[in-house]
């Protein structure tokens, strides 16, 4: 019997399978120049530094950033967001955010609020997950916040946020964007967006390995404090952290193999081209939406419009729990989806699916229309049983 094919529809969690060139780049790094970058000064160490520099340049060019020193490497977007939030706010500050944020935004903010360090305003989004721009503008005007934090797209409903409009209402606040769900799938030109701190993760649509991410600074002059301090390989004669970019924010031996892989992932995305990829994902979203909406017992959440969302769809099935649907998709059909709250309880409260959560299908570069049809057929079978 032929082994059953796995159909992977969980790209919003992490992309799979990674492009062949990503595996090759990681292996190559391991085998040829996995020395300590920026520290030892021998030829292998220099090659490791060069590889990190190349990855930083690749990322800067990809997001249209003029100077790659403004790209700070982190382990993932969670670390980027923690660096931005804890590093930017001071005692007594006000922070404004939306009710569609992931816990990697909510938890640090709730922590600061609980300790009396900040005052937090969470502006409710619509039941489709759409940001309330007027409500955010009012909160900004009345509260004069230090930081305004929004995602670029929700990981629960895929709902896209118009960053241009958010930037127009940010006032004197620093705008921090969580681009976990859009970096690598939606065109992003930071040179024409007034975003002060841009947080991304490497292992989702950018196709990189897990353990890679970054925070991009608009000017490099933001009053950002480091989360960690330690060895950087630079200015080792001083016991104080260097004050220049990116070393000020990058202590400890970096994930050289990972960032070599991430640069290769970005090159795979560029081979597709982001606009072509977006079209591919929009077509799959459209077909999945059409199929799901035609099934009586399925309730689709979110904007239900491929132009207003990423290739992420959340739904509930009458009479069957999300976890049961996910279990049957996996066991009976080899289809991998995510179920539950997706680390975003506030988002589920907003769209009315707390605490049971939803079934989330999320598509990516390696999916085809055949995968979408297989998921729809499988769901019909589960419902009719
Ligand atoms: C919107 C959003 N923010 C943050 C994260 C956290 O990502 P990571 O685990 O890569 O830090 C995710 C991942 O699911 C996400 O979708």
Domain CATH number, residue 228:
3.40.640.10
Ligand 1 pocket mutation pick from 10, 11, 78 by most atoms within 8 angstroms of CB: 78
Nearest atom (ligand 1) to Cα of 204: 10
Mean of pLDDT values over 131-138: 98
pLDDT higher than threshold 70 for residue 2: no
> DSSP code of 182?
T
Is the Cβ–Cβ distance between 138 and 96 less than 8 Å? no
pLDDT higher than threshold 80 for residue 45: yes
Mean of pLDDT values over 77-92: 98
CA of 80 to the centre of ligand 1 (A): 10
The per-residue pLDDT for 4 is 78
Assess whether 226 and 278 both reside in one domain.
no
Neighbours of 87 (CB within 10 A): 16
Q: Does any ligand 1 atom lie closer than 6 A to the CB of residue 78?
A: yes
Whole-number Å distance between alpha carbons of 232 and 54:
18
Mean of pLDDT values over 274-284: 97
Nearest to 24 by CA among 202, 261, 184: 261
What is the sign, positive or negative, of the torsion defined by CA atoms of 240, 76, 202, 146?
A: negative
Q: Which of these three, 218, 251, 271, is where a domain ends?
A: 271
pLDDT higher than threshold 90 for residue 248: yes
Assess whether 88 and 129 both reside in one domain.
yes
Interaxial angle between packed helices 77-88 and 103-114, expressed in degrees from 0 to 180 and rounded to the nearest 10: 30
Each residue's pLDDT tens digit, 210-220: 999 999 999 99
Nearest atom (ligand 1) to Cα of 203: 10
CA of 302 to the centre of ligand 1 (A): 18
How deeply is 73 buried, as exposed, middle or buried, from its count of CB atoms within 10 A (0-12, 13-18, 19+)?
buried
Ligand 1 pocket mutation pick from 75, 77, 161 by most atoms within 8 angstroms of CB: 77
Mean of pLDDT values over 321-340: 98
Which residue's CA is the nearest one to ligand 1's atom 2? 180
Q: Does any ligand 1 atom lie closer than 6 A to the CB of residue 104?
A: yes
Cα–Cα–Cα angle for 126, 204, 284, rounded to 5 degrees: 65
Assess whether 278 and 168 both reside in one domain.
no
The per-residue pLDDT for 229 is 97
Assess whether 153 and 277 both reside in one domain.
no
Assess whether 92 and 147 both reside in one domain.
yes
Q: Does any ligand 1 atom lie closer than 6 A to the CB of residue 77?
A: yes
Assess whether 191 and 282 both reside in one domain.
no
Stated as kind and residue range, the H or E segment containing 289 is helix 274-293
pLDDT higher than threshold 80 for residue 143: yes
The per-residue pLDDT for 40 is 83
Tell me the pLDDT band of 38, cut-offs 50, 70 and 90.
confident
Compute, in degrees rounded to 10, the torsion defined by CA atoms 165, 168, 172, 176: 30
Is the Cβ–Cβ distance between 266 and 19 less than 8 Å? no
Domain enclosing residue 85, as ranges: 20-271
Assess whether 245 and 287 both reside in one domain.
no
Is the Cβ–Cβ distance between 281 and 300 less than 8 Å? no
Nearest atom (ligand 1) to Cα of 202: 10
Q: Does any ligand 1 atom lie closer than 6 A to the CB of residue 185?
A: no
Tell me the pLDDT band of 243, cut-offs 50, 70 and 90.
very high
Answer yes or no: is 2 within a domain. Answer: no
The per-residue pLDDT for 385 is 85
Mean of pLDDT values over 214-235: 97
Answer yes or no: is 1 within a domain. Answer: no
Assess whether 352 and 253 both reside in one domain.
no
> DSSP code of 186?
B
CA of 77 to the centre of ligand 1 (A): 6
Tell me the pLDDT band of 1, cut-offs 50, 70 and 90.
low
The per-residue pLDDT for 41 is 86
Nearest atom (ligand 1) to Cα of 78: 11
Whole-number Å distance between alpha carbons of 98 and 113:
15
pLDDT higher than threshold 80 for residue 330: yes
CA of 139 to the centre of ligand 1 (A): 25
Ligand 1 pocket mutation pick from 107, 180, 346 by most atoms within 8 angstroms of CB: 180
pLDDT higher than threshold 80 for residue 32: yes
pTM: 0.97
Q: Which of these three, 271, 306, 323, is where a domain ends?
A: 271
Mean of pLDDT values over 312-320: 98
The count of domains in the chain is 2
Assigned token pair, 363: 């598509």
CA of 121 to the centre of ligand 1 (A): 21
What is the sign, positive or negative, of the torsion defined by CA atoms of 50, 28, 179, 231?
A: negative
Mean of pLDDT values over 301-316: 98
The per-residue pLDDT for 283 is 98
Each residue's pLDDT tens digit, 109-121: 999 999 999 999 9
pLDDT higher than threshold 90 for residue 358: yes
Mean of pLDDT values over 314-331: 98
Mean of pLDDT values over 26-51: 92
CA of 102 to the centre of ligand 1 (A): 7
Q: Does any ligand 1 atom lie closer than 6 A to the CB of residue 101?
A: no
């Amino acid at each position: 019997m032929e082994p059953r094919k796995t159909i992977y529809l969980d790209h919003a969690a992490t992309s799979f399978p990674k492009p062949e060139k990503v595996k090759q780049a990681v292996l190559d790094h391991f085998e040829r120049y996995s020395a300590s970058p920026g520290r030892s000064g021998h030829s292998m160490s220099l090659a490791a530094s060069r590889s990190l520099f190349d990855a930083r340049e690749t990322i800067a060019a990809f997001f249209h950033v003029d100077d790659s020193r403004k790209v700070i490497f982190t382990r993932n977007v969670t670390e980027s967001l923690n660096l931005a939030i804890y590093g930017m706010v001071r005692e007594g500050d006000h922070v404004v955010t939306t009710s569609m944020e992931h816990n990697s935004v909510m938890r640090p903010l709730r922590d600061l609020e609980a300790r009396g360090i900040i005052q937090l305003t969470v502006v409710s989004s619509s039941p489709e997950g759409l940001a309330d721009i007027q409500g955010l503008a009012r909160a900004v005007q009345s509260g004069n916040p230090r930081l305004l934090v929004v995602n670029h797209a929700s990981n629960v409903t895929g709902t896209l946020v118009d960053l241009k409009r958010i930037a127009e209402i940010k006032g004197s606040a620093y705008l921090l964007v969580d681009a976990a769900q859009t970096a690598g799938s939606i065109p992003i030109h930071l040179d024409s967006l007034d975003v002060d701190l841009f947080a991304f993760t490497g292992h989702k649509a950018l196709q990189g390995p897990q353990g890679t991410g970054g925070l991009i600074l608009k000017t490099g002059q933001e009053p950002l404090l480091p989360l960690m301090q330690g060895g950087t390989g630079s200015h080792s004669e001083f016991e104080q952290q260097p004050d220049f970019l990116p070393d000020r924010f990058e202590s400890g031996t970096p994930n050289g193999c990972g960032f070599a892989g991430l640069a290769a992932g970005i090159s795979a995305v560029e081979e597709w081209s982001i606009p072509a990829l977006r079209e591919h994902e929009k077509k799959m979203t459209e077909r999945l939406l059409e199929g799901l909406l035609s099934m009586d017992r399925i309730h689709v959440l979110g904007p239900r419009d491929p132009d207003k969302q990423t290739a992420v769809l959340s739904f509930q099935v009458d009479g069957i729990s999300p976890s049961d649907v996910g279990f049957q998709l996996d066991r009976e059909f080899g289809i991998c989806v995510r179920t539950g709250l997706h680390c975003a309880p506030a988002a589920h409260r907003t769209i009315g699916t707390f605490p049971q959560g939803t079934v989330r299908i999320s598509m990516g570069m390696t999916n085809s229309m055949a995968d979408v049809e297989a998921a729809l057929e499988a769901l019909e079978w589960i419902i009719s049983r």
